[in-house]
Structure 1
Amino acid sequence: MFYDMYAALCKSKGISLSRAADEIGLSNSTVTKWKKTGATPSGDTLTKVAAYFGVSVDDLISDAQTEVGMQDQLIAFYGKVKDHLTEDDIDDIMASMRVKAERNKRKGTGG
């Protein structure tokens, strides 16, 4: 989800989400919308966020889409078992998947 990427970038820069939004020229309600709806900004907003954090728009979009794809894979894999998982369980599994994906990315295997 784009919000998670935004929050991680803020954390890595050592600033609050609201401060980053203010410095980018966005309202806090925009960031709240990303969090509540899972929306990904488009056009000018993506360009501003990418420039602020020094990353490419492609990186912002692909990482957000990768996150959604990983969650879809998780749910498909666990099928009926997902009903018995807590949010903490899902967060732990997602973190593990991120580590594996990053390892593969560094190795150049992509999967």
Structure 2
Amino acid sequence: MLNLLNARKAIHKTQQEVADYLGISRQAYSNYEAGKREPDFETLLKLGEYFGCSVDYLLGNKKDPAPAGKVSDEDIKFALFDGAPVTDAQYEEVKRFAKFIAEHNIRPKDD
């Protein structure tokens, strides 16, 4: 079951607003939420962008979406470590380093 209803309610949008964004009828979008039809890949990408969450979440593979405009820890780990396994301790070390950089206003040197 797709997580479209949860994603839509999380950002306080109506079915009509989502349908308008997609350029489809409200009924067509309603069928996606009800599981009567499945959106194609391009539509899933648009929905993920609109809701500010991953397609993985929309497909029901993740419990909670990252808040709109935010990235989940799992997404950050994937991006930083190119999908390689990473321990929680390693990830915490990366976060401590990033905090240190921000607190000390360290900027890269211009070439």
TM-score range (shorter-chain normalised) is 0.3 to 0.5
TM-score by length of 2: 0.46
Which has the higher Rg, Structure 1 or Structure 2? 2
TM-score by length of 1: 0.46
More helix by percentage: 1
Instruction: Return the structure number with greater relative CO, CA threshold 8 A, min gap 6.
Output: 1
